[in-house]
Structure 1
C-alpha cells in the first residue's frame, strides 16, 4: 500500500479541520499522543513481565535439577555403603 502524497495529505488535513474545527485539533493531537505513549508503556511493561516470568521458570527448572542431582548423589552414597 502506497503512502499518500502531499496533496492527498493536505486534503485530509482540510477535511479534519472542517469536521473538528481548528480549536479542537490540538486537543485531538494531545489525546492521540498520550494514547500512543500509554500503549508503548503497556507493551514495555508486558515485555518486562514476560522476561521476569521466564527468569522465574528457568530458576525453578534449575532448582529441580539441583535437587535431582542431590538425590542421585545420596542414592549413590547409600548404594556404596550397602
Structure 2
C-alpha cells in the first residue's frame, strides 16, 4: 500500500505539528525523521547486499529468485523515496 497524501492534508498535518510542538521544534523533528528514513534506506541496501552475497557464496544464485527479491526491494526503496522526497537534507 502506497502512501497518498495531498497538499491540503500535508498542510493540515504541518499546522497540527506546529501547534503541538512549536515552531522552534519543527526543524529538529524534521532532522530526526530524515535521519530515520536514511537509516531505513541504508538498512534496506545492507539486507540486499547480504542476501546477494550469501546466495553467491552458497551457490544457490537463482537468477529469477534474485530478480524477484531485487524488484521487491526496489519497490520498497521507491516507496521510501516517495515519502522522504520533500525531506531532503541540505549540504
What is the number of equivalent residue pairs in this alignment?
A: 59
Greater relative contact order, per chain length (Cα 8 Å cut-off, separation 6+): 2
Partner Cα separation in structure 2 for residue 41 and residue 53 of structure 1: 18
Bigger-Rg structure (1/2): 1
TM-score if structure 2 supplies the norm length? 0.56
Structure 1, unmatched stretches of 5+, are: 60-82
Partner Cα separation in structure 1 for residue 11 and residue 37 of structure 2: 23
TM-score if structure 1 supplies the norm length? 0.62
Partner Cα separation in structure 1 for residue 52 and residue 7 of structure 2: 43
Structure 2, unmatched stretches of 5+, are: 61-91
Higher-helix-fraction structure: 1
Q: How does 1:27-38 map to 2 (within 5 A)?
A: 27-38=28-39
